[in-house]
Amino acid sequence: MTDLPDHLDLDESDVRVRPGRRGSRPRTKQRPAHSDAVDGFVTGVSRGRYDVLVPPPSRRRRDVERALERGEGETLVAVTARELGRGGVVVGDRVRVVGDLSGGRDALARIVGVVDRTSTLRRSSEDSPGGHERVLVANADQLVVVTALADPAPRPRMVDRCLVAAYDAGMDVLLCLTKADLASPEEFLALYDPLGVPAVVTRREDGHVVGVDELRERVAGRVSVLVGHSGVGKSTLVNALVPDAARAVGHVNAVTGRGRHTSTNAVALALPGGGWVIDTPGVRSFGLAHVEVEDVIGAFPDLAEITTACLPLCTHLPASPGCALDAALAAAPEGERAALGARVDSLRRLLLSRSDDLEGPR
Ligand SMILES: Nc1nc2c(ncn2[C@@H]2O[C@H](COP(=O)(O)OP(=O)(O)OP(=O)(O)O)[C@@H](O)[C@H]2O)c(=O)[nH]1
């Protein structure tokens, strides 16, 4: 009689997960149980079912990265192995899947592992400061904050909060100011100039949206999360960037978000030239109670350097006694004081938007 190796009897219930801040990586008692697992990219999550893009069979061993970056392959429906827990897999996650990979109507694949994340965009639950937080999107490298210059009026406070969330996640930020045909962008741009945040300005002209080309260049080949209030023109931009987005997500119209306004489920849409935009229909801002002061200051290396001279518990806010930022301002040469002052003010504005959350429910 031939002795079969034990590992052939293993399945995903044998996966051992080691959780951690930077995601979880599956540990199997004996790895060969999932030697047939293929790499995938999570594009959507709904009621415990995950849309997972897997490369075409010919590219599952080689060239996987390129296929997933370009959105090539087939989107499967998958569930997660029990050990991965609830909420353990989010849009943007790189996963390993096994099971029925045929993609047929009733086919169900199974996610057995999550690859270490390069970034996690998180939000605290807004009614429990300092409490529960959850990951919204994994592995994104850019947060595109979409805000209208008029109709609806811009909300710097919301933009500030998005910036803090992005810095916490280690993501780049891009401001996208829409509806410049209704109001000038100058004032708003000046507000963010000291922070060095890049901005793209779009406007409607003769029925077309001008400025989308620059946005397209800035999202090309990257994984960008789009966030913005209802009515700012986010859908218009997503439509321009991903012309067949509605088709790609089937019967649910992820572009307009119609019928899913109360949902905060993110949806990843492949850009025609490579890269992804992740639309976040119900996400308008971020609970920031989980964010550490250092994570915000870390995004401003010049100011971070100055704050090394502060007392250990310095909040760096305006009334903070002996804050080295104030000393640096007082000592700054006349010609540099205004620019440094603007930058310090901007940083303090961001720190304030975070400390608001620590004080109690809003
Ligand atoms: N004047 C002007 N109107 C615009 C511009 N971009 C979009 N709009 C209009 O603004 C309105 C809202 O645009 P949407 O793209 O639906 O905005 P949204 O942010 O996706 O809003 P929801 O669908 O409610 O989430 C629509 O009537 C658009 O035609 C622009 O650049 N200028």
- Identify whether residues 330 and 271 lie together within a single domain: no
Q: How far apart are CA 115 and CA 95, in angstroms?
A: 6
d(CA 76, CA 80): 13
Q: How far is CA 334 from CA 8, 79, 329, in A?
A: 74, 62, 10
| Chain centre to alpha carbon of residue 179 | 24
**Closest atom, ligand 1, to C-alpha of 256:** 23
Ligand 1: atom nearest CA of 261 is: 25
Q: Which residue's alpha carbon is at the smallest distance from atom 14 of ligand 1?
A: 233
pLDDT tens per residue, range 58-68 = 877 777 888 88
Considering the domain architecture, whether residues 64 and 155 belong to the same structural domain is answered as no
- Distance separating alpha carbons of residues 294 and 340, to the nearest angstrom: 19
Residue bearing tokens 């919301």: 158
Could you count the other beta carbons within 10 Å of the beta carbon of residue 20? 10
Quick one: what percent of the chain has pLDDT higher than 90? Answer: 44
Query: Which residues belong to the annotated binding site?
Result: 178-181, 228-236
Please give the residue range of the domain that contains residue 89. 6-114
Paired residues of 268 in beta bridges: 278
Which residue, by CA, sits nearest to atom 28 of ligand 1?
233
Structure tokens at 252: 């649910």
Query: What pLDDT sits at residue 148?
Result: 95
Helix axes 334-358, 324-331, angle to 10 degrees: 160
Whose CA is closest to atom 2 on ligand 1? 179
Contact of 279 with 255, CB cutoff 8 Å: yes
Residues having CB within 6 Å of any atom of ligand 1:
178-179, 181-182, 202-204, 209, 228, 230-236, 256-257
Q: In this structure, are 251 and 273 located in the same domain? A: yes
Instruction: Let me know whether 72 and 154 are in one domain.
Output: no
Mean pLDDT (whole number) for 132-145: 91
Query: Could you report the per-residue pLDDT of 139-159, keeping only the tens digit for each?
Result: 999 999 999 999 999 988 888
- 267 and 158 in a common domain: yes
Pocket test for ligand 1, best of 177, 201, 235, 237 (most atoms within 8 A of CB): 235
Tell me, yes or no, whether 141 and 102 share the same domain: no
Tokens standing for residue 60: 């599952």
Q: Tell how far the Cα of 95 is from the centroid of ligand 1, in angstroms.
A: 35
Q: Are 310 and 322 in contact (CB under 8 A)?
A: yes
CA of 55 to the centre of ligand 1 (A): 34
- Residues within the annotated binding site for GTP? 178-181, 228-236
Per-residue pLDDT for 13 more than 90? no
CA of 246 to the centre of ligand 1 (A): 17
> How confident is the model at residue 222, as a pLDDT?
96
Higher-pLDDT residue of 87 and 40 is: 40
Q: What are phi and psi of 138, to 5 degrees?
A: -110, 155
pLDDT of 217 reads 97
Q: Which ligand 1 atom is the nearest neighbour of the CA of 151? A: 10
Say whether the ipTM exceeds 0.85. Answer: yes
The residue among 37 and 256 whose pLDDT is bigger is 37
Question: How far does the centroid of ligand 1 lie from the alpha carbon of residue 93, in Å?
Answer: 30
Q: Residue 358: its pLDDT value, please? A: 56
Look at the block and give the residue holding tokens 């620590």: 358
Asked whether the predicted pLDDT for residue 115 surpasses 60, the reply is yes
Given 279, 310, 341, the domain boundary residue is: 279
Written as one letter, the residue type at 227 is V
Q: Closest residue (by CA) to atom 13 of ligand 1?
A: 233
Q: With contact defined as beta carbons under 8 Å apart, do 123 and 133 qualify?
A: yes
Name the residue at shortest CA distance from atom 3 of ligand 1.
179
Of 200, 206, 236, which is best to mutate to test ligand 1, by the most ligand atoms within 8 angstroms of its C-beta? 236
CA 236 to ligand 1 centroid distance, Å: 6
* Ligand 1 atom 22: residue of nearest CA: 230
Among 65, 80, 114, which residue terminates a domain?
114
Check whether residue 32 and residue 160 sit in a common domain: no
Report yes or no on 92 lying in a domain: yes
For 173-197, what is the mean pLDDT?
Answer: 93
Residues 137 and 208 both lie in one domain: yes
- Domain end among 227, 253, 279: 279
On average, the pLDDT of the chain sits at: 81
Cα 234 to middle of ligand 1, angstroms = 7
Residue 119 in any domain: the answer is no
| pLDDT at 249 exceeding the cut of 50 | no
Helices (H) and strands (E) in the chain, counts: 10, 17
